[in-house]
Structure 1
Amino acid sequence: MGELSQSGIKPILNQDVIDLDKSVFHSWSIQESAQPVVIAGGLGSIMWDFEGKEYIDFSSQLVNTNIGHQHPKVIDALKAQAETLVTVAPATANYTRGLAAQRILSHAPDKFTKVFFTNAGADANENAIRMARQFTGRDKVLSAYRSYHGNTGTAIAATGDFRRMPNEYSRGHVHFFNPYLYRTEFDANTEEEECQRALSHLKRTIECEGSHTIAAIILETIPGTAGLLIPPKGYLQGVRELATKYGIQLIFDEVMMGFGRTGRWFAFEHFDVVPDLVTFAKGVNSGYVPVGGVLVNSDIVEYFKHHMFMGGLTYSGHPLAMATIVAAIDAMEEEGIIGHADRVGNQVLGPMLLKLKEQHSVIGEIRGLGMFWALELVEDAESREPLCDSKMAKLKTSLIEKGLLSFIVNNRLHVVPPLVIRADEIERGVAIIEECLTLID
């Protein structure tokens, strides 16, 4: 510990926190190599450690603090709920829970009439799949190879990336390739070709698996961790048509991109298509308290009026989480946060990032919408070979040293700041990225 302060209380130093952290088992990490950044507090888009170093948060932590850190309206709501009722069983009727459901449904298409609350995004996907299986009487679930749906049993099996492989103990999962023109699996040269060939591939997958065996297709509306892959025009409509034709429930995983991240309440609004079930978490309350949920359409609601839903959670609709949802959505509405994300994300952040591509050959492609962008980094523009791990590690280290919290996955730098970030903060953050790219270019 450091020297005594004037109050006689020893100040907390970063090293004290690092020492305490040695007792923590970290997720998705080789434990001995984990080097977490020390964070003491935050406000808006800025965070700081115990020794006064500030960071611009270009990660929104795990792409969840949509309304920024420590929003006073949400903090006040959390305190008020704690003084009224801290916890209550999910089978009860709770005022705050009802308000939260209404707030969410008010921004969803009319076909959704109820909300099932979960603890996070993973179990939201888990329960959406469970609903689809019980509703259809079928078993199989189709999902994309380039995807991430969570770390519970069925959600990780639905995930497409390598993390599912040690965890494949949930049955009935089949994967397919979703469109990604930059690294096309279909030998396509245009977005239109990529779209049509990806849909043909999905159709053949359905036919070969047996459409009568498939309960659901689950897709991230815009795959996030997999690379922020904007679907080509017509792709999601084509998936919708296939699902409808074969009586398959279409689930859109909006855990990462819902509640304003793309400049709309839901990302599927950009694509003129409506799924059968929608999962959410993260941005619905900026992650202030763990929570997630499923938007349930009227047909499934009607089915379960006379059939027991075989699912439930002790903390479903927890009052503290519900209070933060109500306050967060109210703040988004009153302060025009969604419009800010659309305007500043597409008119300030996006153009600044696209300008970087002109200056750095290490940037292979830039993709994004609103406050949801990714830079795909390559060794060589012609071969498109992904930038090696050592250079990505150097980039991450230099970003942190210069005061930027980043979200890096494989060879991609995801730029996903809080939706409330100011233009001048964006300029400072992008300047840091430019400086760090110069070191590895």
Structure 2
Amino acid sequence: MLRKILLLIIFFAAFLFIFSPKISAAENLIQNGGFEELQEYWKTNSSNVSLDIISAPVKEGIKSAMITNSSNTSYGVEQIIQDIVPDQRYKITGFVHVGDPSATKAFIRVAWYSSLDGTGSQITTHDSPMLSDETDWQLLEFFPTSPSAAHSAKLRLLTSNGAAIFDDIHFEIYDEEPTFTPTPTLTPSLQPTLTPTPTSQTSSYNNIFISEIMAAPSPGNPEWVELYNNNDFEVDLVDWYIDDSANGGSSPKKISVNIPAKQFVAIDFTSAIFNNSGDSVRLLDPNENVKDSITYEEAQIDQSFGRNDLSNNDVCLQDPTKSTPNGNCIDIDETTADDTDDPETSPTVTPTTTRVPTKTPTKKIMHVSSSQKKLNKTASQIEKNQKDGKVLGKDVKLYEHKRKKSPLPHLTLLSMFYSVCSIVSLTLKIHFG
């Protein structure tokens, strides 16, 4: 009798093992992630990059990709991923091996886009850990959450100043729901598996400067700020802020942007933040510490304020040079304000010193009549919209995706546990009764 009951228990446990619900493996959104189809679906994003398909070393299959970048800035290869789910947590993994010559940096980056095909300005980026000095294959793994406005992405395999080898790249939806797989045992274990949740990391950098601002654009055009990265490495400004003077009335504008080494990036605003009559502009890190600031006087329509020299905070009026090195300063002689068309008495523009870094400027002369001054004065009174706005293509708010979990796996386990306990109880009663 006891033998029959034990056989019944084993049969029941085997039945639950075979027919219990299992979560299938997530779909890999990357095509040719193992490079078995050579360079198919991948393309380089810089003329300094070469992509070579090699046979050794490999992590999976018979092929891997060696990416060589001769630049100090991080470049490599990329692939567009469509049908991104907003506010969805993803799991991105890949194996990396040092190349020859060994790259100073090697990592995986995902850039999110609001478009359906990876075009336009990126919303923000997330990076994997960096390749260490290990000589064997190293797993790079991270769990980014797509922004609420994201509909596509670009996965980039990046190196700088050398070569690294990539293989077995995966990009998939991360399902946090646990998989319960019962085993044929009379002592069920209910110990939960804890999955660490990656936290968002923000960094503060020095040598990031406000190089130019547009405080009084013509109607229909945005205000903007140009930042310059004076470091020898690229920086990711995540959850930084642009603000006017402290307690000036406008709310700080949150920005998230990547700036390559020794490069400029301009950031547009969807609503006004600066005063045309004069204001301060401040760059704040994630902890709202002031990293840089400038102050300007009365703004002129469609003229920007640019920096002469990074060693001080002085700015001057100039023709806009958005996202490129600044040009010459211009001075408007206010003593020649009489309404006349005589060119000998018309105010002129005198070029002054340029700031560092700079490109060779073209000398520019500007004549301003009194009628033009009146137009500037009228346009400077444009009503300022003080509502909160977002930085075009830069403002990012990450939301943790909360999904309802199905109770089916829990009910299955509970049912199995109750059945097994009932059978064991019956067996003991028969055996000892």
User: Does TM, normalized by the shorter one, top 0.5?
Assistant: no
**TM bracket (short chain):** under 0.3
- The structure whose RCO (Cα within 8 Å, separation 6+) is larger is 1
- With normalisation by structure 2, the TM-score equals 0.20
Q: Which has the higher strand share?
A: 2
Q: Which has the higher helix share?
A: 1
**Rg larger for:** 2
- With normalisation by structure 1, the TM-score equals 0.20
